[in-house]
Amino acid sequence: MRGFDASFVERYRARRARQSSDAIPSAPPSAKPVPCSGLQPQVPGSVSGLQPRVPGPVSRPQPPPRARVRVLGIDTSLRCTGLAIIDAVGADMSFVDCRPIPNPARLSLPACLVRIADTLDAYLDEFRPDEVAMEGIFFCKNARTSLILGHARGVVVATCARRGLPMHEYPPARVKRAVTGSGSATKERMQRMMQAVFRLPDLPQEDSADALAIAMTHLHARLVPGR
């Protein structure tokens, strides 16, 4: 699957700089008076210009087209955060993109958090999702692991909230049950299920597959009112 090269965030920053320099306010066009010399006065009671109206075929109103919804799924982790984009029109879903944000073990905690924030910000600018779905908080036996995950989640939530994106959370067991039918599905089963559902040529990376499953779970939940 695709990954993030070194120039991904740089291209995003250059594009934002160009947009800022081009956003010069222009003066509103002055309103021009509409000439009325061609108007003819109407004579009260005169009906000589009216033509009989012939009834035509009755046209049935067409239902409005269903809007496309783009969902970003996020599987948050300090060392490898998975991202995935799915488009949906009603119950029809289509794969757009998925890739991980890997952080090498040599990077410190602050450096990893900065990398997650910058890469996610560039990803949001590239794909412009309408909604965000992420894995909810689950029980961790190790307090240190829970604290580190909380740092990464905070960065992800703040980056998405800064853009005003609606965010939704789903427990890991619900995500597994929604896409495989079992709340204890393995990582490999999740990967192969996502590859089969979206007909991917290659097996997705495990964190990217989890992000795809989270986005898919949210789209399923949107179809059921009140859930």
> Would you state the pLDDT for residue 199?
95
Within a domain: residue 159? yes
Name the more confident of 7 and 107. 107
Please state, as a whole number, how many other Cβ atoms lie within 10 Å of the Cβ of residue 156. 22
Question: What is the per-residue pLDDT across 150-189, written as a single tens digit (0 to 9) for each?
Answer: 999 999 999 999 999 999 999 999 999 999 998 889 999 9
Catalytic choice (87, 121, 131, 135): 135
According to the model, what pLDDT value does residue 17 have?
A: 78
Note whether residue 13 is domain-resident. Answer: no
Residue 118 sits in which domain range?
A: 66-222
3-state secondary structure 164-207: CCCEEEECHHHHHHHHHCCCCCCHHHHHHHHHHHCCCCCCCCHH
| 100 occurs within a structural domain | yes
How many structural domains are present in the chain? 1
| 22 is an active site residue | no
Which helix (H) or strand (E) element contains residue 209? helix 206-222
**Which among 75, 87, 118, 131 is annotated as catalytic?**
75
Q: Which of 87, 121, 207, 210 is catalytic?
A: 207
Active site residue 125: no
Q: pLDDT, tens digit, for every residue of 187-221?
A: 999 999 999 999 999 999 999 999 999 999 999 99
pLDDT in tens, 105-127: 999 999 999 999 999 999 999 99
pLDDT tens for each residue of 60-100: 666 566 789 999 999 999 999 999 999 999 889 999 999 99
Between CA 76 and CA 165 the distance in angstroms is: 17
CATH number of the domain at 89, please. Answer: 3.30.420.10
Residue 188 appears among annotated catalytic residues: no
* Triad 93, 208, 153: Cα angle to 5°: 105
In a domain, 18, yes or no: no
